[in-house]
A and B are shown apart, each in its own frame.
Chain A
C-alpha cells in the first residue's frame, strides 16, 4: 500500500499544456477517480504516475519518495488498460504467470501464486483456456489479477469500462469495487463517466483543460461543486446554470434572472452574495430540486422526456436553458406551455460569472 502525492505536477507537449500545477494527495488504500472530459489531462496524469510519461514540472511521491526517475517497471504500479491488453496468444495461466516469470520468481512459487489468485478471482476452472475469446468481465478480472499477482502498492485503471455495453457496466462496477475491497490497494481510476466515478470512488478529482478543479467525496462534489464546470459535469442531467443579478432587500437577498423571475437566497448564501461586488452572478440549482409552484421562475417548456421512474422537462426562455427532473408520479407540464417552478433556497449555488468558481457559503 502506498500514498501518492502529486506536487505542482505539469506536462507540456511543445506549446500545448496538457496538465498544469496539479496538487493532489491520494491516501493509502483510497479509491480515487480522476474524472473529466477527454483532453482534460486525466490520462496524462495517470501515465505520469505509471511512468509512461515524464513530468515537465513538479514531483510525484510514493510514500514520500520522489519516483520521477524510477523506471516504470520498478515503480510497483499495476496498470489496467482500457482494453485490458490481455496477451490473447497465451492461456489464462500464462497471463497470470507472466509478471512473476519476468521478475524471476521461482517456478514452484509461481505455480502456488497463480493457483491462489485463480481461486481468489474465480478463474481456476479456465486456467488452461486460451485468453482469446473470454468474456469481458473475465478479461477484467484477469487483467486485474495479472497485475495484482505482483502485489503492486498502487493500481491504475484507465477507463476499463468504456468498451463495455451499458447493461453490463453495473455488473463490472460492483465487481471492480469488491476486488478493490479484497486487495485493499490504492487505486487511481481514470474515467469520463461521472456515474462510474460517483458509484465507485472514495474521492473524485474533477479535471478540465489540464486543471484540477475540485477534489472531494462524491456527495461533496455533487452538493457543493467548487466550479460551474464541475456543477454542469456532475449529475445526469447536470446542474442548471442561469445568468442573474443580485438584489438586496430589507433583510434578504434575492437573485433575479432576467425575464424569468427571482429566487431568494438562504441566509448562508447571503453572506457570500455580499462579497460579490459586481452583483452579476451565475445561479446554479440541481434539476432534481425543482418543484412546480405558483411563483418563482417561469420558463417555456420545449419538450418532456418520460424515462420511467423520472420525467425530464426541458425548458427555455430567451438565452437561458434549464432542465427539471420530476418524479414519475408528479404530473409533468405540457410542451409549449409556460411553467412556473420554485427552487428551495438551500438548493441555490452561486458562481462567479468570470472565473466560474463557487461563491462561498458551503451548506451541508
Chain B
C-alpha cells in the first residue's frame, strides 16, 4: 500500500496536518490505487467466476453471462480426480527438483571461479551469458536438432563407444524429459550464475580477510562467511528459477510438444492443450487458479525467509 504520509501536500499548519493530511493523501491517491487494484484483481476475480461455470467461448454467450452455466465446484472436483493434471504437476515438480539444484550448483561453482580475476575472464564471462539471451524458441529448435537420433549429441557419445550411438532421445518416453531438462539447464544456468556472482562479489572483502587472519580455511570461509552473507540473493535466485520452471513451456513445447504421449507434458503444456484442443475454458480457469495459489504460497514463503535473512 502507498504510504500516505509521503504523498502529503505541504500543509500550512504542520502540527494539525498529521491527521487531516493522511486522510487527504488517501483521497488523492484513491483513484490510482483503485486502478491498480482493479488491474491486479479483475482477471483473478473473472477467473474465479468462470471456473465455477461450464462456460466456453463456443457456447455463444458473453462471459459475463457465464453464470447461466453455473456448475459450482464441479471443475475443482474434476481437477482432483484428473490423473493427467496430477501427472503434469508431478512432472513439473520433478523437472524443478532436478533443474533448480543443478542450475544452482553449476551457477555457484561458476561464480566461485569468476569472483577472482584471471586472464581472459571478460571474454569467457560474456560467452557464458549467451545462452540466456537466446530466444527460447530458437533454443528449442537448436536442442531439437541436437537430440535427433543422427544428431550431434549422439555423434559426441559415439566417440566414447565402439558402435555409433543412435539414441532416439526425443521419441523415447524415458529420455525425452532428460533432453528437455538439459536444454533448460543450458539456457538458465547463466542467469543463476549472474545473480550468484553479483551476490558473491558483494560479500565484504574485509570479512573474508578477517576470517583468513583468524586461520579459517577456504571451505570454512565459504560456508561460514560467503554463503550466509549470500542468503538473501540465493533465495531470490532460487525463487526466480522455481517460478520460471513452474511455467516451463516454450523450449520444451518446440522440442517434444509434450510428448511422446504425455512423457514431457508439464502444467503449462497441459493447460495449452486443454485450452486449444479441448476448448474447456472454465476448466482451464480452475487449473490456473490452483497453480496461482501454489505459486503464491511458495513466493510468500520465500519472501518471508528473505526478510528474516535480512533481519539478522
Contact = CB atoms under 8 A, between A and B. Distances in A.
Chains A and B come from one and the same complex: yes
Interface of A: 50, 52, 72-74, 77-79, 81-83, 85, 87, 89-90, 98-99, 102-103, 130, 132, 146-147, 150
B215 A73 contact: yes
Give 10 nearest A-B pairs by CB, closest first. Answer: A99-B214, A102-B216, A85-B206, A85-B210, A102-B215, A73-B215, A103-B215, A81-B206, A89-B228, A79-B213
A50 B216 contact: no
Given A81-B206, A87-B207, A102-B220, A73 B213 contact: yes
A150 B312 contact: no
B215 A85 contact: no
B158 interface: no
A147 B214 contact: yes
A181 B189 CA distance: 55
Given A50-B213, A73-B213, A81-B206, A98 B224 contact: yes
Contacts of B229: 89
Contacts of A74: 215
Nearest to B216: A102
Q: Which of A87, A130, A150 has the most CB of B within 10 A?
A: A87
A98 B211 contact: yes
Interface string B196-235: 0000000010110111111111001000110011010000
Contacts of A50: 213
Contacts of A85: 204, 206-207, 209-210
Contacts of A89: 228-229, 231, 312
A78 B312 CA distance: 26
Nearest to A143: B210
Contacts of B214: 73, 98-99, 102-103, 146-147, 150
B280 to A, nearest CB: 51
Contacts of A146: 210, 214
A103 B312 CA distance: 26
B53 to A, nearest CB: 52
Nearest to B206: A85
18 contacts: A73-B215, A73-B216, A78-B213, A79-B209, A85-B206, A85-B210, A87-B211, A90-B224, A98-B211, A99-B215, A102-B216, A102-B217, A103-B215, A130-B312, A146-B210, A146-B214, A147-B213, A147-B214
Contacts of B220: 102
Contacts of A103: 214-215
Contacts of B217: 102
Contacts of A72: 212-213
Given A83-B206, A130-B312, A102 B211 contact: yes
Contacts of B225: 87
Nearest to A132: B312
A81 B210 CA distance: 8
Nearest to B214: A99
Interface in B254-312: 312
B312 A73 contact: no
Contacts of B212: 72-73
Given A72-B212, A79-B210, A150-B215, 7 more contacts: A52-B209, A73-B212, A79-B209, A85-B207, A89-B231, A98-B211, A103-B214
B250 to A, nearest CB: 39
A85 B209 CA distance: 9
Contacts of A82: 206
Contacts of B215: 73-74, 99, 102-103, 150
Nearest to A99: B214
Contacts of A87: 207, 210-211, 224-225
B137 to A, nearest CB: 43
Q: Which of A72, A73, A102 has the most CB of B within 10 A?
A: A102
Q: Which of B212, B225, B228, B231 has the most CB of A within 10 A?
A: B212
A73 B218 CA distance: 12
A103 B229 CA distance: 22
Contacts of A78: 213
Contacts of B224: 87, 90, 98
B312 A81 contact: no
A90 B213 CA distance: 18
B241 to A, nearest CB: 24
Nearest to A50: B213
A220 to B, nearest CB: 33
A60 B215 CA distance: 20
A52 B210 CA distance: 11
Nearest to A75: B213
B312 A77 contact: no
A323 B206 CA distance: 41
B234 to A, nearest CB: 13
Contacts of A102: 211, 214-217, 220
Contacts of A98: 211, 214, 216, 224
